[in-house]
Structure 1
Amino acid sequence: MAVRPIRRSDYEGLNRLHRQVGWPERSQAGWRWLEDNPARRDIEAPVGWVVSNQDDEPAAMLGNLVQRFRKGPRTLYAATGFSLIVPPERSGASRSLIQAILTQPDLFAKYTLNANARAAPLYRLFGLKPGPMETHALKLSWVVDPLACLKGRLLRRLWGGLSASDAHRLGERLMNPRLFEPIPLVLPRDVMVLNNIRAGSAYADFWRDLANEGRLVADRSPEVLGWRLSDPDQTLPPLLLGLMRGGRLIGMAAAMMNKTSLIEPPCLDIIDLAALETAPDAVEILAGALIENARALGAAKVRLQVTTPEILDQLGDLAPRARREGGWGHCHALIEDPELARAWAPTPYDGDYAICARHIPLPRAWRSPIRSETNAPAGHWVSAS
């Protein structure tokens, strides 16, 4: 099957494919936002690829999320696929699309951290290996509203087999009115909401310190994080927390509300957890702060969809309290350099979770999404006095 890069004229066709499988569509501005990924522009990589029909319209697709990484003074690039959509009548197109992302030049790694149970075995056919070996099949969650989670399970049993169009006719279920209310956060000592990630901020200093440790880490610079937070299709801004000690930021966490389907309750997805090597306890403190505030914010549970042995250890007492989810190898990677393969310790930030989230639908009375006017998150989250 012929594969070609995505063009701007494809965006409506890509939305049509998303609609067929019940996945969130993007506005034209949202697709342009993906184009503006600083790492993608660095190496002039495609936004993704399509298999086209006889009219040259998208009939199957795979998105291409390029990321910068740092390892000491070295700047490296990697890519993860997202939104692999192959209708039944295009059976076999997934192989051509995956091959397209794997043959990109100048990348130290090609990977997915978000493979579903059906697709997971496919990646091994292309040489991708599960990793990290101890945790590649492990997702963690902390239930904060058991009743809402129970209602979600019941609805899945009743309506889980519905088509995307039938599910859409049922309408949005299990919404929580607190989601769009400015709820004050109750935070531990020295934990604060990060409202400034610009150059010269405490966050910028944290990124410099993290990069200078010499570990292989995804680029969290103000430029890249600012781009991530500027998604025009967001309805709620991500929540960024930081842990300060001695006047320095030593750890940060990012989380966003996600409603994975019409019949699921909202959940708070942890999309980043990062701490300096001198402050491993920051991971437990920051994750605990998110869990403690999640129900008040309108979430039924908190999820951490990528773990490593180090993260499990740093979560401390939170790890035994978590539900073990997953059970299949959702993390697969192809890294040819043995040194970089050993150094790779993925976090949710490295994956496509923030890119593919189903943002919380807006109440009917809400006319437009909450958007930040700067490269910092909108001021929806506040600390309680």
Structure 2
Amino acid sequence: MSFSVRPIDTRDHDAVNALHHSVGWPKRSEAGWVWLASNPALQETNAPAGWLLESDTGEACGFTGNFVQRFHQGDRTIHGATAFSIIVTPRARGNSRKLLAAFAGQRNLFARYTFNANPASSPLYSRHGMVAWPPETHDVKLSWRVDALACAGGRMWREIDRHAPRLTQARHERLLNPRLRDPDALDLPTGVTVLTDLADRSRYADFWEALRTEGRMISDRSPAMLRWRLSDPDLTLRPLLLAFNRGKAIGGYAMAMMSKGNPIEPPMLEIIDLMALEDEPRAIPALMQALLANTRSLGAAKLRIQTVNPDLLRRLGPLADSARREGGWGHCHVKFDPDTPGVDTWSPTPFDGDYGICLRPVPVTGEERRAA
């Protein structure tokens, strides 16, 4: 049997969802696929939204998504892309190389990368010119447990699933925390507030402009882009946005969202973004303290950040030392355009990767979703 790769189109959504279902990953609604295709950065580059691996009989046997983002360095705007949801069925095993070749071979992008490789796939990326990056932190994930009992319950159910999967095949959602998720009731330290105003003329817009003028390479966090991110129709709970205020101005911000990796794991509060101005050393520790203080009350067993850069480690200080080091394999890989200057100033967070669009949402009732 032979296999070929082609860009996906709207007729492929059911097949792609079937591939996601086959590996236990969350499926997207039709509105969710339309939303992903409406990504302004994707439309600017005319890049495909992903690629489908097909057999010679037309069977969908693999997929990888292509999430394009704008990047800014001063007045210069460029684009990069992260691969997401790389899936290959058992009968097409070995053909992931064709999907990765299509992704890594894209032109007119300063970087093609993934920050979410699993241990099995990690060795494959070097075959396509992708290197482990950042050198110091490509294998680092940080987590802080706040509910040891729920975490232990997750480990117990994983062991049950490993030895007697028939007991978990019903996919009943377990370890859902009944405490819920009222941002208005957060316990926030002085200087940290919930960020709600993402207008083009707002304090957050001023913060974004200040970030841009620092001159480092940074992915697009403009108010318009955050509004687009938050409009994902498949979100069950609105991500939490926090601002660190210095007087009337914002000096840093954080984005975190609830996720539940599968039905037998407890919910997690995932840090999607954590950014501060270079001259504001108080912001990152204060925002982290705010997230840690509220993780359990939001219904999560653990606070986690899955892409870490050296500058963030330095800014976290003792908070990084108190974290559990997860990962241990190279989950971050990148292929840079050799003609792009300034890539050494890029300090990525999970926002730059696929976490904001690929995490499995926490199941909620209709009433809870409306309240969020």
Fold shared by both chains (TM-score > 0.5): yes
User: What do the CA deviations read for 1:332-359 (whole angstroms, capped 9, x no partner)?
Assistant: 1111337333223211110000111100
How far apart are residue 56 of structure 1 and its match?
3.3
- Equivalent of residue 124 in structure 2, options 122, 125, 128: 122
Q: How does 1:67-78 map to 2 (within 5 A)?
A: 67-78=69-80
Q: CA RMSD in A?
A: 1.7
Pairwise CA distance, 1:368? 8.1
Q: TM-score, normalised by structure 2?
A: 0.95
DSSP 3-state at the match of 2:71: strand
Indicate the residue corresponding to 1:213 in structure 2: 214
1:233-254 per-residue CA deviation (whole Å, 9 max, x = no partner) reads 1110000000111210110000
2:238 corresponds to = 237
Counterpart position of 1:354: 356
Give the equivalent residue in structure 1 for 2:67.
65
**What is the alpha-carbon distance in structure 1 between the residues aligned to residue 127 and residue 236 of structure 2?**
38
Any stretches of 5+ residues in structure 1 without a counterpart? 371-378, 381-385
| 1:76-131 residue CA offsets vs partner (Å, 9 max, x unmatched) | 10000000010110112211111111121210000100000110000011111111
Name the SS of the counterpart of 1:232 in structure 2. Answer: coil
Offset at 1:321? Answer: 0.9
- Cα drift, residue 29 of structure 1: 0.3
Q: Which residue of 1 aligns with 2:161?
A: 159
Shift of 1:196: 1.0
C-alpha distance after superposition, 1:185-233 (max 9, x if no partner)? 0101111101111100111111111011110001001111111111101
Q: Which amino acid aligns with 1:5?
A: P
Matching residue of 2:298: 297
In structure 2, the partner of 1:258 is 259
SS in 2 for 1:296: coil
CA contact (8 A) 2:4 2:56 kept: no
Deviations 1:164-200 (A, max 9, x none): x974514111001123556610101111101111100
CA distance in 2, matches of 1:225, 1:162: 43
Q: Is the 8 A contact 1:172 1:263 kept in 2?
A: yes
Report the AA paired with residue 345 of structure 1: S
d(CA) in 1 for partners of 2:215, 2:164: 49
Amino acid at match of 1:185: L
Q: CA contact under 8 A between 1:233 and 1:369: conserved in structure 2?
A: no
Aligned to 1:383: none
Q: How far apart are the structure 2 equivalents of 1:149 and 1:291? A: 16
Q: Does 1:136 align with 2:106?
A: no
Q: Is the 8 A contact 2:305 2:350 kept in 1?
A: yes
Is the contact made by 2:236 and 2:369 (CA closer than 8 Å) also made in structure 1?
Answer: yes
For residue 375 of structure 1, what is the aligned residue in structure 2?
none
2:347 is paired with a residue whose SS is coil
| Amino acid in the other structure paired with 1:39 | A
Cα offset for 1:326?
A: 0.4
- Within 2, Cα distance between the matches of 1:132 and 1:339? 16
In 2, Cα distance between the equivalents of 1:132 and 1:368? 39
Q: How many residues align?
A: 369
How does the TM-score come out when normalised to structure 1? 0.92
Q: Which whole-Å CA distance do the structure 2 matches of 1:368 and 1:43 have between them? A: 38
The equivalences for 1:149-188 within 5 A come to 149-160=151-162, 167-179=168-180, 184-188=185-189
CA distance in 2, matches of 1:347, 1:181: 26
SS in 2 for 1:169: coil
Match of 2:94 in 1: 92
CA distance in 1, matches of 2:322, 2:198: 32
Looking at structure 2, the residues matched to 103 and 197 of structure 1 have their Cα atoms a distance apart, in angstroms, of 36
Contact 2:183 2:194 in 1 (8 A): no
Query: 102, 113, 116: which is aligned to 2:115?
Result: 113
The AA in structure 2 aligned to 1:104 is Q
Structure 1: distance between partners of 2:127 and 2:119:
15
Q: Is the 8 A contact 1:168 1:262 kept in 2?
A: no
Find the residue that maps to 1:285 and give its secondary structure.
helix
Q: Is the 8 A contact 1:183 1:296 kept in 2?
A: no
- Contact 2:4/2:55 (CA < 8 Å) preserved in 1? no
CA contact (8 A) 1:229 1:237 kept: yes
- Give me the whole-angstrom Cα distance separating, in 2, the residues matched to 1:309 and 1:286: 18
Partner secondary structure for residue 290 of structure 1: helix
Cα deviation, 1:122-166, whole Å, max 9, x if unaligned, reads 001111111111111010000000110011111111114677x97
Q: Supply the AA of the counterpart residue of 1:279.
A: E
Read off the aligned partner of 1:328 and give its amino acid letter. Answer: W
Deviant stretches of 4+, over 6 Å:
none
Distance 2:59 2:47 in 1: 21
Aligned in 2, Cα 1:129/1:298: closer, same or farther, shift over 3 Å?
Answer: same
Q: Please state how far the C-alpha of 1:54 moved relative to its aligned partner.
A: 4.4
